[in-house]
């Protein structure tokens, strides 16, 4: 599967955020989208996910892809977790294919056990981020898309999270946006310039 982003432009309130942007997201490749705040990184991911429509250009799924939409595991810029429920529930709720035992095993890779059964609202920012990462990786998907997934993580936790994501990537493409590219040398760095 290839996601073809071709000549994409997007403006908000008359301000152009992306201008004729091109990118081919191919299988088994990793893409690190970087750039200053407000340069359009999140906008690009929203266009790829189909949450926004481009003003110009196209986002297409090429190849023998069986769905009309992208089957993606996503870490959003905000955690977008159900705050009243625990980490395990937040992971299992997104798909019937994720069993509780699997969710617990995956969460234990990034979180201390005592954090698994507390309502998410009681977790720290970094712990919530890790729950969001596990949720994205646990769901069977064709592409992993992560918007600033390492926000709030210290150096060690960040590296553990990077290793975890790499391990779960499989053959699908991985797209990460990040201000800081430390430890992300495995991917193709794409710098989005501010308009």
Decide whether 33 or 98 has the Cβ nearer to other proteins. 98
For residue 113, give the DSSP letter: G
Decide whether 8 or 132 has the Cβ nearer to other proteins. 132
Q: What is the dihedral of CA 69, 185, 42, 103, to 10 degrees?
A: 60
**Residues paired with 27 in a beta bridge:** none
Q: Which stretches of the chain bind other proteins, using CB under 8 A? A: 49, 51, 72, 74, 76, 78, 80, 82-85, 89, 93-96, 139
Tokens representing 33 are 């989208």
Alpha helices in the chain, H assignment, sequence order: 41-49, 87-92, 100-110, 125-138, 155-168
- Shortest Å distance, C-beta 183 to other proteins: 26
Decide whether 66 or 96 has the Cβ nearer to other proteins. 96
- Shortest Å distance, C-beta 65 to other proteins: 16
Tokens representing 150 are 């390492």
Give CA–CA dist 144/162, Å, rounded.
Answer: 13
- Shortest Å distance, C-beta 83 to other proteins: 8
- Shortest Å distance, C-beta 155 to other proteins: 28
């Amino acid at each position: 599967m290839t996601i073809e982003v071709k000549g994409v432009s997007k403006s908000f309130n008359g301000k152009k955020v992306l201008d004729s942007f091109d990118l081919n997201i191919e299988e088994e490749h990793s893409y690190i989208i970087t750039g200053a705040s407000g340069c359009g990184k999140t906008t690009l991911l929203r266009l790829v996910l189909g949450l926004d429509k481009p003003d110009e250009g196209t986002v297409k799924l090429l190849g023998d892809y069986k769905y009309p939409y992208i089957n993606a595991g996503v870490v959003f810029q905000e955690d977008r977790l159900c705050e009243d429920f625990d980490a395990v529930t937040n992971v299992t709720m997104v798909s019937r294919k994720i069993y509780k035992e699997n969710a617990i095993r995956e969460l234990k890779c990034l979180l201390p056990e005592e954090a698994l059964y507390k309502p998410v609202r009681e977790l720290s920012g970094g712990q919530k981020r890790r729950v969001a990462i596990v949720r994205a990786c646990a769901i069977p998907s064709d592409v992993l898309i992560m918007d600033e997934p390492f926000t709030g993580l210290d150096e060690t936790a960040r590296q553990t999270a990077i290793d975890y994501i790499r391990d779960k990537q499989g053959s699908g493409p991985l797209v990460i946006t990040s201000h800081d590219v430390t430890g992300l040398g495995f991917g193709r760095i794409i710098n989005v310039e501010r308009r």
